[in-house]
Structure 1
């Protein structure tokens, strides 16, 4: 990937989107919301069979043999679809935990002082001693809180940023769709300048974050990854908030997916630890270049 996906990478992205549209569309999303804490094992195994968890695993070890750029594209689609489950932890466990790559095992572990889907996991990697249940704002992400947060894995930070990017892109689409079809005072709400500005800002933040995330997937440098994380977090959280503004009160209803994107985005911002840690790492990298 040279910041723009090539033909093969676009085919991979489209394939993941088609799979998720078929297996986790609006109806399945609503069913998942109505059954909080329940993970669809059939879908998990289907993701494994499609190579979702084994994208970066060498072919000699039974994986797909691709790289971090391809994984980022796949996780961007997962974020767009609000796919539930400890996706990042299971991906990182492929080749290390039997069954993780194939989707036969659900793997979780600490990320930013939180543990997702602890009750559904077959394997828990890392120290989760003292983990206590936490009331999650997102019905699709059951949480446990740890007494202390460890340093996040750099790949986990980047894949989470990719999920945030997918969510930002989706909320931008939803805002534009609603602005075109919803009428107020005899005109589409998108005809009003305030709504146009909201949609334009969402698009700019999303495209800026996409450039940063895709660049970080190529370089894998710590400063690049944390810069991508900050931009993707902003695009996802502010994008979901602006999308709610475009939708008005109906965006807060359970029938709408908009509020789910906001709640998931809030949780993802915790996976890499406090934002100040990413900001300090970037500042240190910039000062080092000046010296």
Structure 2
């Protein structure tokens, strides 16, 4: 399978990266953290105007008319930039919830299992379910992902059935983007930080850490791209499994490369780790992905 991007796909990825670098750079990221994770509605509308949410809608319906392979490229860049908000749910709702495609509506989902919902207090709709009042706030590991407990039937997550595979894959793309970004952060710091008169990147232990991070990130990205081409549920589950591991372990190894500096609030590495923890519980957990893959393997062996 050839995963080389077309010129149009390369231009799309570059365009999204430039947009996010200009609109959601480090200063904006830190401002979001300082605000307690409040969603920037202006940014949300700009994403809508840029076609982020309507990417896969047919042109006849006001969309961009692209496919799942292009969507994972866009979400990979969003993960790299740590762009906050219920991006996946709003993207999946673009064809059914008024305002979602244009970015004038924020759509969340029961994608965390149980009754926990991200950004519920700011949402205009819930994917596949009625909008419910935001109940008790729940402490979130990620300062940019506010959580609330909703008063709803325990089977509210069942409404995600038609969306779960694509939701898991797009979340995997976010995780892959984060994993790739932490590789960049680790390598940059290893080049700049000196110990004993030389960059720490010259030390074998640091080289090994960075090499392992790159392998994990590229493996996850390849799995995400493959699942986007085949649209196979088992491959989407496998991609989510690999991307979750890459995002979490790469963030931890990036902290190791940074040493004590990486554990400070001023460093961005901890934000990648905390976001990776939350995403690992969204749409399809590791246990759920493993169960789906095991069922597929058993069916193939019969």
Q: TM-score, normalised by structure 2?
A: 0.92
2:59 equivalent in structure 1: 59
Ranges in structure 2 where 5+ consecutive residues have no aligned partner: none
Give 1:150 shift. 2.8
1:18-57 counterparts in 2 under 5 A?
A: 18-57=18-57
2:146 equivalent in structure 1: 142
Give 1:149 shift. 6.9
Give 1:132 shift. 3.8
Q: Which has the larger displacement, 140-149 or 276-285?
A: 140-149
Q: CA distance change for structure 1 residues 145 and 275 in 2, over 3 Å: closer, same or farther?
A: farther
Please state whether the residue corresponding to 2:137 is helix, strand or coil.
strand
1:110–1:127: 8 Å Cα contact kept in structure 2? Answer: no
Please state whether the residue corresponding to 2:28 is helix, strand or coil.
helix
Matched, 1:167 2:169: no
Cα distance in 2 for partners of 1:141, 1:112 equals 12
Cα distance in 2 for partners of 1:145, 1:191 equals 48
2:233 equivalent in structure 1: 222
Q: CA distance change for structure 1 residues 273 and 214 in 2, over 3 Å: closer, same or farther?
A: closer
Q: After superposition, what is the alpha-carbon deviation per residue over 1:120-167, rounded to whole angstroms, capped at 9, x for unaligned?
A: 112223267696421011111101246567355111100000000000
Q: 1:240 aligns with which of 235, 251, 255?
A: 251
Cα distance in 1 for partners of 2:266, 2:210 equals 22
Q: TM-score, normalised by structure 1?
A: 0.96
1:109–1:128: 8 Å Cα contact kept in structure 2? Answer: no
Cα distance in 2 for partners of 1:33, 1:138 equals 9
2:87 equivalent in structure 1: 87
2:81–2:178: 8 Å Cα contact kept in structure 1? Answer: yes
1:1-291 counterparts in 2 under 5 A?
A: 2-113=2-113, 114-125=116-127, 126=129, 132-145=136-149, 150=157, 153-291=164-302
Cα distance in 1 for partners of 2:181, 2:299 equals 37
Q: After superposition, what is the alpha-carbon deviation per residue over 1:189-209, rounded to whole angstroms, capped at 9, x for unaligned?
A: 111111111000000001111
Q: Which has the larger displacement, 120-129 or 258-267?
A: 120-129
Q: Which has the larger displacement, 114-123 or 23-32?
A: 114-123
Cα distance in 1 for partners of 2:14, 2:88 equals 20
Cα distance in 1 for partners of 2:216, 2:96 equals 36
Cα distance in 2 for partners of 1:258, 1:22 equals 20
Give 1:38 shift. 1.2
Q: After superposition, what is the alpha-carbon deviation per residue over 1:210-232, rounded to whole angstroms, capped at 9, x for unaligned?
A: 11000000011111000000000
Cα distance in 1 for partners of 2:260, 2:149 equals 31
2:93–2:107: 8 Å Cα contact kept in structure 1? Answer: yes
1:111–1:149: 8 Å Cα contact kept in structure 2? Answer: no
1:112–1:149: 8 Å Cα contact kept in structure 2? Answer: no
Aligned residue-pair number = 291
Cα distance in 2 for partners of 1:201, 1:61 equals 44
Give 1:187 shift. 1.3
Ranges in structure 1 where 5+ consecutive residues have no aligned partner: none
Please state whether the residue corresponding to 2:117 is helix, strand or coil.
strand
Q: Report the RMSD for the aligned CA atoms in angstroms.
A: 1.6
